Chain A
C-alpha cells in the first residue's frame, strides 16, 4: 500500500490529522517520538534534533555542520520507517527528501490562518494585520529553512501531491480524502518505486557513515552499487577515494562503490592565481 507523508504549518493540527488518517487506514503513525531513539543511537541531544528540524543553523544555535549531520540522522531513520510500508510519516520533513517515488503520497495540511496565528502567539489575540505579518514571517522562515536544508521550497504547493486547506475543509473530510486518495492506482507501490525507496534508504545510511569525515558528500545508490560524490583538490583525491570505498564497502548490501571526486573548480581557480 502507499505510504503517506504528511506535513503541516501547524504541528498539533498535522499530528491530529496524521493520527486519524493512520487509524482509518490501519497504518502506523510515525512522528517525532522516533527522534529519541535516533538521539540515543548517535549519541546526540534529542533537543538538538528537534531544533535542527525547526531552526536554521546559526552562530548561537546549531552549527551548519551539525545541522546537516542531524538532518541526515533523521532522514536515515525516517526512510527506514517508510521502507516498512503502511505508515503515515509526519514531522520528519520526509516530504522534502522522499521525492520522485510514485507510491509516496505527499500531503500538506494548511491550518486556518487565524487559528494558526493564535497558536503561534500562544493564545494571545492579535489584530488581523499583526497576525498576517507574523504568518508571513514564519512562512518566509520555513521557505528559507527548507531551501537551505534540501533545496526545496516547502511552501511551494507543487512539492505535494495534495494540499488541503482546513479553512474550508473539516478535519473529518480531510481524513476521508486522504484515505480515498491512497486507494488510487497511481499511488500503488511497484517494483520500481520500491527499489527507488530502498536505494534512497541505503544511500542515506551510507551518507550518515561518510558524513563524519566528509560533510559535503552526496550519495546515490542503485541496487547494490553506490556512487559517492565529494569535492576535493587533485592531491587529496586518491586518499579520499580509498577511505570512502572502505567505509561504504562495509555495508553488506553494497557490492560496488564508485567515488567521484569533483574538481573543486572555484578552489582550483582561486589557487591558480596565487
Chain B
C-alpha cells in the first residue's frame, strides 16, 4: 500500500458527495467532493488525483470535458464516469476519450467501491473494496 488514494468526486447532486465521501474514506480514499464543475476543474489543475469520479451531464461543463482536462493534466489518473441516462454512444465516446470505467445511476456504494478498487489495482496500489465492518451487507459479486 502506497498511502491513501487521492480521489475527486464531482456530481451536481449534493447527496452523492455527502454520502459517498464517508463510504469511500472507509476503503482508504482521501476524498474531495465538488458540486460545481468549475471549482472541480480549478482543483484538478492544482492537484493531481489518483482517481476522478465525475457525473457526465451537468449544467455548465460536461463530464467528458472534465475527463479531457484530467487526462491532459495527468494521463495516469483513472477517470470513472457516472451518468443518469446511459447511452451506448456516450459510453463509447467516454471510453475512447480514455475513461477508465463508466457506470450508470442508480448504483450502490459497493458498486463504486469495487470499480475504485479495480482502478487502484490498475494504478499499482491495491486496496480492499470490502470494508472492515463484517455486518456490512454485500451485493452479489460483480464480475469483470
Contact = CB atoms under 8 A, between A and B. Distances in A.
A and B touch in the complex (CB under 8 A): yes
A187 B111 CA distance: 21
B144 interface: yes
B103 interface: yes
A118 B26 CA distance: 66
Contact of B88 (A101, A184, A194): A101
A188 B95 contact: yes
Contacts of B83: 192
Contact of A191 (B92, B93, B111): B111
A220 interface: no
Contacts of A142: none
Interface string A189-205: 11111110000000000
A41 interface: no
B140 A192 contact: no
A123 interface: no
Contacts of A191: 101-103, 111, 115, 142, 144
A253 B143 CA distance: 14
B91 A102 contact: yes
A59 interface: no
Contact of A190 (B98, B101, B140, B143): B101
B60 interface: no
Contact of B95 (A190, A194, A195, A253): A190
Interface residues of B, number: 21
A194 B144 contact: yes
B86 interface: yes
A188 B94 CA distance: 11
B91 A190 contact: yes
B95 A102 contact: yes
Contacts of B102: 102, 190-193
Contacts of B115: 191
Contacts of A42: none
A142 B74 CA distance: 50
B104 interface: yes
B96 A192 contact: no
B144 A192 contact: no
A189 B88 CA distance: 12
Contacts of A100: 87-88
A184 B92 CA distance: 10
A185 interface: yes
A22 to B, nearest CB: 21
Nearest to B114: A191
B96 A193 contact: no
Of all A-B residue pairs in the complex, the 4 with the closest CB atoms, nearest first, are A186-B96, A186-B92, A190-B102, A102-B91
Given A100-B88, A102-B92, A192-B103, 11 more contacts: A185-B95, A185-B96, A187-B95, A188-B95, A190-B95, A190-B99, A191-B115, A191-B144, A194-B142, A194-B143, A194-B144
30 contacts: A100-B87, A100-B88, A102-B91, A102-B95, A102-B102, A184-B96, A185-B95, A186-B92, A186-B93, A186-B95, A186-B96, A187-B92, A189-B144, A190-B91, A190-B95, A190-B102, A190-B103, A191-B103, A191-B111, A191-B115, A191-B142, A192-B83, A192-B86, A192-B91, A192-B101, A192-B103, A193-B91, A194-B142, A195-B103, A253-B140
